[in-house]
Amino acid sequence: MKLPEPPSEQSFPSPLHHPRVATVLGRWLGVAIAICFLTGLLSHFAQVTPGWLTIPTRPASLYRVTQGLHVLSGIVSVPLLLAKLWTVYPKLFAKLPWPPSKQALATALERASILVLVSALALELFIGFLNTLQWYPWPFPFKETHYALAWIIIGALLVHLAVKLPLISTHWRRTSADRTPIPQHPVDSLPPAITGLSRRGLFRTVAGAGTLVGIASIGQSVPAFGPVAVLAPRKPNIGPQGLPVNRTAKDAGVAAVNADWRFTVTGPSPLSYSLDQLRALPQNRSDLPIACVEGWSQGARWEGIRIRDLLRLCGAPEGSPLRVVSMEKGGFYATSELPPQFAEDPLTLLALRLNGSDLDLDHGFPARLIAPNRPGVFQTKWVHRLEVLR
């Protein structure tokens, strides 16, 4: 019995596998990846700030916008990547030139770079999406892995673009051949596959899928889309006091405080206040968002004491960096460091009130930090001590 021939690249004659289609989808995916990479770099530097960089405190909502775009562009990349892979998968069946030659080696190397690109990108998007669900089911540290993969992707992408440059430039503009309408009924001389979806139909389908997943997730930072945000685990205005909770007091092992609770500041002249004494200090109001790295964000009205007022009260000079210490024991978020530009900003508060009432226990009662243009991970809850570091 004769075995059937294995498929070859020619076994997939649909015009949707054409380089022109790959170029168009590649452009869309390229834009999404570029936005995701750049906003991701900003997010990484906001959390792990290199010595040469000073993160500005304004615009106060900048991180909310960039992190919203980061998660959005990542999610939209998923259908774009799937479409791009579908368009080019017949290449998997192309035969390597044989016997080995220089050209065969080049082809093999190119395929290896694409393997790296596709697997790193698929893994990156997958763990990124699970992160928006606040789900970390792996043994490696998320932040470092996500960051390292980003550089692997960008490197492999540049190699891919360099190799494909001649093909991309040939198909960058629509040619007359591209414009030839695709027959909508079977033609004897053409295989049946050619009668399927048109290129325009494919582009519309992919654009539609991208828009749909975008709308299904953008509601985690844009309240108007909250009701249709089926991919968003948290809706911006659902939670105590109209604000989602990332980690409850119960999960953090923090209990309500009693009357002998004290708030302290260590510095040149140390301070110690009861809650009533904190309430008697000059109160200020800041309208600032919580913008979680996991993608959700929501604006809120905070009232409390300016951190810089507390610094002057304890005699700390301007420019002192600060450590903010939670009553939470252990865990990544139990302390955060506040660089001087944030400590001195008039919007930065030790907040006692949220949206018109005392902080809910889950939002950090009796006191929490709130500062402009910072990732949510640094908006420390259940604060009971400030330490002036120098």
> Which residues bind to Mo ion, rule: CB under 5 A?
246, 292, 376-377
CB contact at 8 A, 216 and 230: yes
DSSP state of 285: E
Select the binding partner of residue 252 from Mo ion, ligand MTE, none (C-beta < 5 to 8 A, by kind): ligand MTE
Select the binding partner of residue 171 from Mo ion, ligand MTE, none (C-beta < 5 to 8 A, by kind): none
Select the binding partner of residue 381 from Mo ion, ligand MTE, none (C-beta < 5 to 8 A, by kind): ligand MTE
User: Which segments within the chain are labelled E, that is strand?
Assistant: 263-266, 271-273, 284-291, 297-306, 322-326, 335-338, 349-354, 357-358, 368-370, 383-388
Select the binding partner of residue 143 from Mo ion, ligand MTE, none (C-beta < 5 to 8 A, by kind): none
Pick between residue 26 and residue 244 the one whose CB is nearest to ligand MTE: 244
Residue 219 identity: G
Q: Could you tell me which of 283, 282, 335, 342 has the C-alpha nearest to residue 318?
A: 342
Closest CB 238 distance from ligand MTE, rounded Å: 11
Tokens (6 digits) for 144: 């470092």
Place of tokens 């844009």: 222
CB contact at 8 A, 316 and 388: yes
Residue nearest to ligand MTE (CB): 376
Closest CB 336 distance from Mo ion, rounded Å: 12
Closest CB 194 distance from Mo ion, rounded Å: 50
Pick between residue 89 and residue 136 the one whose CB is nearest to Mo ion: 136
Select the binding partner of residue 80 from Mo ion, ligand MTE, none (C-beta < 5 to 8 A, by kind): none
Distance of alpha carbon 372 from alpha carbon 386, whole angstroms = 18
Measure Cα distances from 215 to 1, 121, 221, 389 in Å.
54, 22, 11, 44
Distance of alpha carbon 63 from alpha carbon 293, whole angstroms = 9
CB-count burial class (<10 Å; 0-12, 13-18, 19+) for 175? exposed
Closest CB 36 distance from ligand MTE, rounded Å: 20
Closest CB 64 distance from Mo ion, rounded Å: 12
Select the binding partner of residue 124 from Mo ion, ligand MTE, none (C-beta < 5 to 8 A, by kind): none
Closest CB 299 distance from ligand MTE, rounded Å: 12
Which chain residues interact with ligand MTE by CB under 6 A? Answer: 243-247, 252, 290, 292, 326, 328, 333-334, 363-364, 376-377, 379-382
